Structure 1
Amino acid sequence: MSDMFSGTPGNHVFYVVFTPTDTANYDAVRDILVTVEVAALPPTSFCNALRNRA
């Protein structure tokens, strides 16, 4: 799960739980497989400035 915080580009798979508001009449659904695609951000002018310092 460390990728979740680093924002590593690519597809990341998570298992989630849906809990309905009306738990008296409906059950929670567990182990729903969710894929989240993290896209790479384009370089910023700050990143370019750091690259040019070297």
Structure 2
Amino acid sequence: MNNWMNLSKEERLEIDFNEKNIIMRKKKALLKSIREEYLKIKNKEQKISKSQKNSKKVIY
């Protein structure tokens, strides 16, 4: 904590800015992976429901 207070305002702002950018990149990467996983699950469920509908059709 003392090291932080010994820094100038500009230095503290720069360090804070860089840390926030790193955290934001990590959050964006996590959200992207969640979205991709969601789409995989959603597509898999759609394929299953389509195959179930097709198998229920009766041919006359």
Greater per-residue strand proportion: 1
TM range (shorter): under 0.3
Report which structure shows greater RCO (CA 8 Å, sep ≥6): 1
Greater per-residue helix proportion: 2
Work out which of the two has the higher radius of gyration on C-alpha atoms and give 1 or 2. Answer: 2
